[in-house]
Structure 1
Amino acid sequence: MADVATRIREIEGVGPGALPLDELLASGQPAVLRGVARDWGLVQAGSPSMQAAMDYLQRFYNGQPVTYSWGAPDIAGRPFYTDDYSDLNFEVKRGGLDQVLGDIAVHADDARPPTYYVASLPIDSRLPGLREANDLGLGGQGIDAPPSIWIGNRVTASCHYDALNNIACCAVGRRRFTLFPPEQIDNLYPGPLEPTPGGQAVSVVDFDAPDLERHPRFRHALAAGQSAVLEPGDAIFIPSLWWHHVQGLEAFNVLVNYWWSSVPAYLPTPMHALYHALWTIRDRPEREKQAWREVFDYYVFGPGPRAGDHLPEAARNVLGPVDETMARQLRAMLIGKLNR
């Protein structure tokens, strides 16, 4: 694994229901929350053995099928692209969670096992009751973030970013997290926007064996990176849009995560705007692109009130704060224009 310059800062002595969320969000920096989930039932169950953790999970499984990724031994636990980036190197399957757990156990001692990865499984719909003894209590702090669970063997989630804030709890096994701030995007060499191994563009750099002749700017990313190894019971706060590379280090690994937005639900993901801008702006002449940059700086990236503060309040319309009513109007207007 490539070395990065800095260790992720650590916060000790916090527990479920009392996380320093305001400080975490205000800092805009990642943080490891050591031992925050150490008393979870799943963490305790996984301490004696892998099988004990599997048995604990199966107590809550309701039998509904789950979607999981399967890869042949030669992908070495790295769901990724084929060599020409036209397809993915794994299959997406559906089956019982009990079957997936059994297959992981069968191959636990293999030097190069097949890859099994249940990603972002909603806990409440497949493992009802698990939250009772395995939850961070974010709801009590005003955060609506239903948890998801991630189950697999030694899987590497290639470096990517999410649009939402994230707290990820290492419940079984150890995981190595390597993080980069958003401004490192150019130095991480993102792959195609579609298809993607997990729903977001990922870095095409092989972190275990980086080719610095092919990807020379990755050196700058490493100098700006931060890393930490999480033990069972530890958690990590990943701010929105921070790139993160995650490696499962044991034959069996389980993680529980919580995603949430810092803005109201009526503000949609900016990914829609990115695709629209790729379509409408990127391939224009450079002079026009620079002019549009000035327009966007004025209306979007500058101070929120600036574009409308010289107008009477009643005349500001979309130049004023966007509320739920204005959001509906904007959505209807855009749909109408795009459908012409």
Structure 2
Amino acid sequence: MTRTLDPALLIARQRPVVVRGLVRDWPIVRAGRDGPAAAAAYLKRFYRSAPVVGYTGDPTIGGRFFYDASGTAMNFTATRVALDAYLDRILATLDAFDAPARYVGSTDLDTYLPGFRAENDLAADFDGATPLASIWIGNRTTAATHFDMSNNIACCVVGRRRFTLFPPEQIANLYPGPLEPTPGGQVVSMVDPRAPDFARYPRFAEALASAEVIELEPGDVLVYPALWWHNVEALDGFNVLVNYWWNMAPRFMDSPMNTVLHGLLSLRDRPDSEKQAWRALFDYYVFGPAERPAEHLPEPMRGALAPLTDLSARRLRAQLVQRLNR
């Protein structure tokens, strides 16, 4: 029997939630029970030759995709590959202790494996939002601790996965790395949770005290909110995960990371007294109740303080671009 998920209800808890066995009847999960070769053969049924990005790292990185010793480049290479051939490379070194780390991450399901979701899709009501469904494939690899700007539903379908999750308020204790370059597009923690260097990163002990470690078996589903930091370890020689990212914010809203970057440009290096005053303004206009700044103003006077629409968002964006280009 198909079980339906209510993502909004689970995300409202603002904590990670595990739903055991929710997708255990998916055909990809059943194929995985017959072994890695059967799972790979199932995936190949849907592949239509479009190249994907394959990430390959030397055995010495221990499967952790991160920075090299210089800290200015990655410890892996990213190349366009044929998925079927890349799957064969993973299968060829399943049990080798010196196997390269191989990983295909965040690959759009509908684009690269058309038809897969017709047989393997989550029964969920996203309340009008359109989720982005992706697939992640690899051997024993680790995605360094990072956060995403969307809510996430992670479906473990082949192999086991270990998630170590940290709430957003632990950011300072996670010692974030540079804004760019990054291993996968998002800022990562400089600390390896598998072997933390407490002498170098002493506050990480506080982060660990608040961490949630969750191990998933094939068929299990993990739901967690946007901006939760997560370190993801694939624990077997062949692993597949399907995930759904979604936000309830309207599509016309800009990325908050752009605000962070602008804050670095306009606020960070001002005197502390000024920054505290600007904090009060941000609390009033941005982080407080959305209706408060405009509630005492007649409607014709509200301008950008009124609830945003697609049209007013475009106008505000044009105004910002004009100001930035002065």
* Residue identity (%): 52
Query: Match of 1:135, as an amino acid?
Result: D
Cα distance in 2 between the residues matched to 1:60 and 1:140: 25
Q: 2:210 aligns with which of 224, 230, 238?
A: 224
Instruction: Give 1:302 shift.
Output: 1.1
Match of 1:11 in 2: none
Deviates more, 1:310-319 or 1:197-206: 310-319
Query: Match of 1:101, as an amino acid?
Result: L
Structure 1 residue 208 corresponds to structure 2 residue 232: no
Match of 2:168 in 1: 182
Q: 2:42 aligns with which of 49, 56, 72?
A: 56
Q: 1:88 aligns with which of 54, 69, 74?
A: 74
Deviates more, 1:172-181 or 1:136-145: 136-145
Counterpart mapping for 1:312-331 below 5 A: 312-331=298-317
Cα distance in 1 between the residues matched to 2:105 and 2:303: 42
Match of 2:135 in 1: 149
Does the Cα contact within 8 Å between 1:76 and 1:112 map onto a contact in 2? no
Cα distance in 2 between the residues matched to 1:15 and 1:194: 42
Counterpart mapping for 1:134-145 below 5 A: 134-138=120-124, 142-145=128-131
Query: Match of 1:49, as an amino acid?
Result: G
Instruction: Give 1:142 shift.
Output: 3.2
Instruction: Give 1:141 shift.
Output: 5.1
Match of 2:115 in 1: 129
Does the Cα contact within 8 Å between 2:180 and 2:187 map onto a contact in 1? yes
Query: Match of 2:202, as an amino acid?
Result: P
Does the Cα contact within 8 Å between 2:8 and 2:126 map onto a contact in 1? no
Query: Match of 1:124, as an amino acid?
Result: D
Structure 1 residue 43 corresponds to structure 2 residue 29: yes
CA deviation profile, 1:199-222 (whole Å, cap 9, x unmatched): 100111011111111111111111
CA deviation profile, 1:222-280 (whole Å, cap 9, x unmatched): 11111111000111001000011100000000000000111110112101101110111
Stretches of 4+ aligned residues off by more than 4 angstroms: none
Query: Match of 1:225, as an amino acid?
Result: A
Cα distance in 2 between the residues matched to 1:247 and 1:335: 41
Query: Match of 2:176, as an amino acid?
Result: P
Structure 1 residue 339 corresponds to structure 2 residue 325: yes
Match of 1:68 in 2: 54
Q: 1:66 to 1:139 in 2, by over 3 A?
A: farther
| Partner SS state of residue 147, structure 1 | strand
Q: Structure 1: which 5+ residue stretches go unaligned?
A: 1-13
Match of 2:291 in 1: 305
Query: Match of 1:239, as an amino acid?
Result: P
Equivalent pairs, count: 326
| Partner SS state of residue 260, structure 2 | helix
Cα distance in 2 between the residues matched to 1:173 and 1:23: 28
Does the Cα contact within 8 Å between 2:163 and 2:215 map onto a contact in 1? yes
Instruction: Give 1:42 shift.
Output: 0.3
Cα distance in 1 between the residues matched to 2:220 and 2:2: 11
Q: Structure 2: which 5+ residue stretches go unaligned?
A: none
Query: Match of 1:150, as an amino acid?
Result: W
Cα distance in 1 between the residues matched to 2:41 and 2:235: 21
Match of 2:252 in 1: 266
Match of 2:272 in 1: 286
Match of 1:21 in 2: 7
Instruction: Give 1:21 shift.
Output: 2.0
TM-score by length of 2: 0.97
Instruction: Give 1:335 shift.
Output: 1.3
Deviates more, 1:73-82 or 1:311-320: 311-320
